[in-house]
Amino acid sequence: MIMQPPKNNFAQKPVSCEACSLHSVCIPNGLSSKELDEVEKSIDKSIKLKKKKSVFKAKGIQQGIYAVKSGAIKTSISNSDGQEQVLEFHLPGDLLGFDAFDTGEHTCDAIAIEDTLLCKISMDVFDELCGRLPGMRKELIHQVGKEISHNQNQLLSLGQQQTDERLAVFLLKLSNHYQSRGFSSKEFLLPMSRQDLSNYLGMAVETLSRITSRLSENGIIKIDKRMVFIQDYPQLEKLAHSSCGKKT
Partner DNA sequence: CGGGAAATTGATGACTTTCAAGGTGTGTGG
Partner DNA sequence: CCACACACCTTGAAAGTCATCAATTTCCCG
What sign does the dihedral 55-57-58-61 (CA atoms) show? negative
Would you count residue 78 as binding DNA (CB under 7 A)?
no
Nearer to DNA, 122 or 207 (CB): 207
User: Site residues for DNA, window 104-143 (CB under 7 A)?
Assistant: none
Q: Which residue of 77, 158, 189, 205 would you call a contact of DNA, by CB under 7 A?
A: 205
Residue 53 is a binding residue for a second copy (CB under 8 A): no
Q: Is 26 exposed, middle or buried (0-12, 13-18, 19+ CB in 10 A)?
A: buried
Part in contact with a second copy (CB under 8 A); list of ranges 3-11, 23-31, 109-117, 157-165: 157-165
Of 46, 148, 206, 229, the one binding DNA (CB under 7 A) is 206
Buried b (16+ CB within 10 A) or exposed e, 103-135: eeebbbbbbbbbbbbbbbbebebbeebbeebeb
Q: Cα(211)–Cα(158) distance, rounded to whole angstroms?
A: 16
Q: How far is the CB of 201 from a second copy (least distance, A)?
A: 8
Nearer to DNA, 124 or 206 (CB): 206
Contact in structure between 78 and 54 (CB atoms under 8 Å): no
Report the distance separating Cα 166 and Cα 156, nearest Å: 10
CA dist., res. 27 & res. 138, Å (int): 10
CB-based contact 213:205 (threshold 8 Å)? no
If binding is defined by CB under 8 A, does position 31 make contact with a second copy?
A: no
**Could you tell me the smallest distance in angstroms from the CB atom of residue 66 to a second copy?**
15
Of residues 76-105, those binding a second copy (CB under 8 A): 77-81, 83-85, 87, 98-103
Helix axes 134-160, 33-41, angle to 10 degrees: 80
Under the binding rule (CB under 7 A), the answer on residue 195 touching DNA is yes
State which of positions 129-148 bind a second copy (CB under 8 A).
130-132, 134, 137-138, 141-142, 144-148
Query: Site residues (CB under 7 A) for DNA?
Result: 162-164, 193-195, 202-210, 212-213, 223, 225-226, 244, 246-247
